[in-house]
Chain A
Amino acid sequence: GAVVSQHPSWVICKSGTSVKIECRSLDFQATTMFWYRQFPKQSLMLMATSNEGSKATYEQGVEKDKFLINHASLTLSTLTVTSAHPEDSSFYICSANPRQASSYNEQFFGPGTRLTVL
């Protein structure tokens, strides 16, 4: 099946630093990747939609200058949390739509990255 990986699986950083999270589709090409944020005991909140070779589309209320998304290739998207603060601590999950899929195909999710900002 389609596999999506994320790196790192967890990260602890100091306030004010930047953190980069990678999302890779391991055995398929993904034209579209999605970045979600999940707070404890809450649902997934879509942050942005990342399309290969173009700018990401951010959801309302998500600061694009704070959460930089780059979709450099058909198998890699990165999320950079710039100048991280404790309130950015969360579980970040990416997902990907296979290039070959029809429009209704389910998204394949990465295992998530736990970010803790001290």
Chain B
Amino acid sequence: AQSVAQPEDQVNVAEGNPLTVKCTYSVSGNPYLFWYVQYPNRGLQFLLKYITGDNLVKGSYGFEAEFNKSQTSFHLKKPSALVSDSALYFCAVRDRSPGGYQKVTFGTGTKLQVIP
């Protein structure tokens, strides 16, 4: 079975400071990894994905994430946080191996609060 862990329920960061939202995963094969953001009473918006290639993936709104296979992590980062980045962030994983589990599994979400 595949799983995703987001160890922090909430992350607080001052505006202008770098931010990190942590995510670790577990799959039987090689993973597809995703980050989504959700604003209150809204659906999920895609931020970025890792499929293959460079371990550092750049996405929307200045976010990036680093795939670390040895640590099975895919932490979301941004060099300088904005108040408008305050939202709920979900990490997700999908097993891309042939015959692997095809459904996407979401983490429990991390609430990011950027303090002015």
A107-B41 CB under 8 A given contacts A42-B109, A43-B90, A43-B109? no
- Verify B107–A104 contact, CB threshold 8 A: no
A8 at the interface (CB under 8 A from B): no
A110-B49 CB under 8 A given contacts A42-B109, A44-B90, A49-B103? no
User: In the complex, how many residues of chain A place their beta carbon closer than 8 angstroms to a beta carbon of chain B?
Assistant: 21
B108 at the interface (CB under 8 A from A): yes
CB distance from A38 to the nearest CB of B (A): 9
Question: Count of A-B contacts with CB under 8 A?
Answer: 44
Q: CA–CA, A6 to B96, complex, Å? A: 29
The interface residues of chain A lying within 8 Å CB-to-CB of B49 are 104, 106
CB distance from A76 to the nearest CB of B (A): 17
- Verify A43–B107 contact, CB threshold 8 A: yes
Interface size range on B against A: 20 to 34
- Verify B108–A42 contact, CB threshold 8 A: yes
The interface residues of chain B lying within 8 Å CB-to-CB of A4 are 43
- Verify A104–B32 contact, CB threshold 8 A: yes
Which chain A residues (74-118) contact chain B, with CB distance < 8 Å? 91, 93, 95, 103-104, 106-112, 114
Which chain B residues (12-53) contact chain A, with CB distance < 8 Å? 32, 34, 36, 41-46, 49, 51
